[in-house]
A and B are shown apart, each in its own frame.
Chain A
Amino acid sequence: MKRFPLPRPSLRFVHVWRRNRLVWRKLAIPSMLGNLADPMLYMLGLGYGLGRMLPEVGGLSYIAFLAAGTVCSSTMMSASFESMYSSFSRMHVQRTWDAIMNAPVLLEDVVIGEAVWAASKAFLSGTAVFVVAAALGLVASPLGLWVLPVVFLTGLAFAALGLVMTSLSPSYDFFMYYFTLAVTPMMLACGVFFPIEQLPAALQVAAQVLPLTHAVELTRPLMNGEVPGAVLLHVGVLAGYAVAGLAVALVLARRRLMT
């Protein structure tokens, strides 16, 4: 008898989120520096180094163009790492999820708690890049602050996708496939380093279904002081990835842990 009870999400996910935050607080400084250093080196190195050789890209200086992309890509990276390697450790290696589910907390609370936690860490990473960009004068107006909710939503979408992989994964090695086949292509095809228009036509169409494209389409105009076009479409795609990803992750995690 397979039961597929409707998920009963509740605020109990906060218990799971707070557990992860307490662990993070012990290592917050090195964790933040680690998260920030890599995207910053790429942004500054490519932005100023390569940027000096380039005319304007998409109507912006290359460093300003790249700053918006880096906010999104570092959000994606941070959410993906946390929701795969770290969540997998807690689910499979340390059996922390099992311990939590012996308390009056449901699997949906655990999965949502993990997703919101990964989105929160991603929010810190994306925000850190945004703050540095603002300090370098690469945020044109206060309209840019709307980037912050976009960063959180982007983090949630990638956390949900990461948790789908985690629920399927037999070991840490499995995540390499996702990074090689999904994350790296998105870095290159979604307008982080160069405009999507540079891609062959078929790839331009394909890029439209990828979540990172929509994060970039929102973030770049906002940082440049403009209201993005088709806001609802972009927000809808990101939210759709978040909700659908969470639903799939929950079904898979249920199959894995509750048989």
Chain B
Amino acid sequence: MAHLEVRALRKSYESREVIAGLDLELEPGVCFGLLGPNGAGKTTTLKLCLGLSDPDGGAIRMLGFPVPERAREARARVGVVPQADNLDPDFTVRENLLVYGRYFGIAVRHLEARIPELLEFAGLTAREHSRIQALSGGMKRRLALARALVNDPQLIFLDEPTTGLDPQARHLIWERLRQLTSEGRTILLTTHFMDEAERLCHRVAIIDNGRKIAEGSPRELISQHIEPQVIEVYGDGALAWAERYGRGACERCEVTGETVFCYTQDADAIVHALDRDGTLRYLHRPANLEDVFLKLTGRELRD
């Protein structure tokens, strides 16, 4: 049984259709990435799956329960790390975990036994009695993650879990998320960071304008949609180089700002030419998920 099954989901706000027929299926133990530009419908999808908003069409089953009709029962085995911090500012770190556990109807003595474990997982053992206002952004996010685990969930929703964190804090969150999937928990993650999705997710779906436009493992998507080699040429003279030589030398050539992206099966000739020239700055790298994302969702700004 899939932990989360979404069929032909639709949702409109006024006349704007924000989810336009979305299908998703999360097998147990998978880390699934939901990717898309701002306004693509990622957060709305999570809200619908949790039963916190009524769909205009389609069907959702979460952990075997129909949503929204029996979302409450399903949420008993689900953890949520929301995009906006909603830790309880009136409480200490420990009280946040205790009070949140009570919302699940968990007995206080069970919580007392579980809290040290959760604090350890979040690296907050020393901050047990700190007030929320005294925590850094990374600590707050770790506490939000620990709070989402208080009910030992089978399925965890994470809405942009590392946005606004420094690299150290991001790496720590990544390590913890991998630990959670290795324990057999299912994760649904939204993110803007393609390197994050590529590292963590077994499967990703790219959505835009409320529709799924691609789905697969990060490797599959890269090999299906993009030439394997990328040369980025940037700085003074890059655009002129593209017109003079670049466009003709690679399968696909794109320009964003002052950077030229050359996508190709074989980069050797271009790299040699750039080395001979010697004045242009460039980066030669394998294609990644961000290249796929930009190809499929376009390079213009989304707000």
Contacts and interface: CB of A to CB of B under 8 A. Distances in A.
B95 A22 contact: yes
A12 B105 contact: yes
Given A94-B86, A259-B53, 5 more contacts: A19-B102, A99-B88, A101-B52, A102-B52, A257-B52
Given A22-B95, A104-B75, A1 B57 contact: yes
Contacts of B99: 18-19, 22
Interface in B69-89: 72-73, 75-76, 78, 80, 82, 84, 86-89
A18 to B, nearest CB: 7
B50 interface: yes
A103 interface: yes
A95 interface: yes
B86 A103 contact: no
Interface residues of B, number: 31
A104 B73 contact: yes
B138 interface: no
B100 interface: yes
B86 A96 contact: yes
A96 B75 contact: no
B104 interface: yes
Given A100-B103, A104-B72, A104-B73, A94 B53 contact: no
A103 B147 CA distance: 11
Given A1-B56, A104-B105, A99 B86 contact: yes
Given A94-B89, A258-B52, A258-B54, A103 B103 contact: yes
Contacts of A44: none
Contacts of B89: 94
A23 B13 CA distance: 37
B56 to A, nearest CB: 5
B55 A1 contact: yes
Given A23-B90, A94-B86, A96-B88, A104 B53 contact: no
A106 interface: yes
Q: Number of contact residues on A: which range applies?
A: 20 to 34
A231 B57 CA distance: 50
B241 interface: no
A105 B105 CA distance: 10
In order of increasing CB-CB distance, the 5 nearest A-B pairs are A103-B103, A95-B86, A102-B80, A99-B86, A23-B90
Interface string A99-135: 1111111100000000000000000000000000000
Contacts of A103: 75, 100, 103-104, 151
B68 interface: yes
Interface string A19-37: 1001100100000000000
Contacts of A104: 72-73, 75-76, 103-105
A98 B86 contact: yes
B66 to A, nearest CB: 13
Interface in A186-231: none
A259 B50 contact: no
B103 A105 contact: yes
A2 B54 CA distance: 7
Nearest to B87: A99
7 contacts: A15-B102, A23-B91, A99-B88, A102-B78, A104-B72, A104-B104, A105-B103
A141 to B, nearest CB: 42
Interface string B4-43: 0000000001000000000000000000000000000000
B160 to A, nearest CB: 15
Given A3-B68, A258-B54, A102 B82 contact: yes
Given A22-B99, A103-B104, A104-B76, A1 B54 contact: yes
A204 B95 CA distance: 50
Contacts of A18: 99, 102
Contacts of B53: 258-259
A102 B72 CA distance: 9
Contacts of A12: 105
Contact of B103 (A1, A15, A257, A259): A15
B100 A99 contact: yes
Interface string A126-169: 00000000000000000000000000000000000000000000
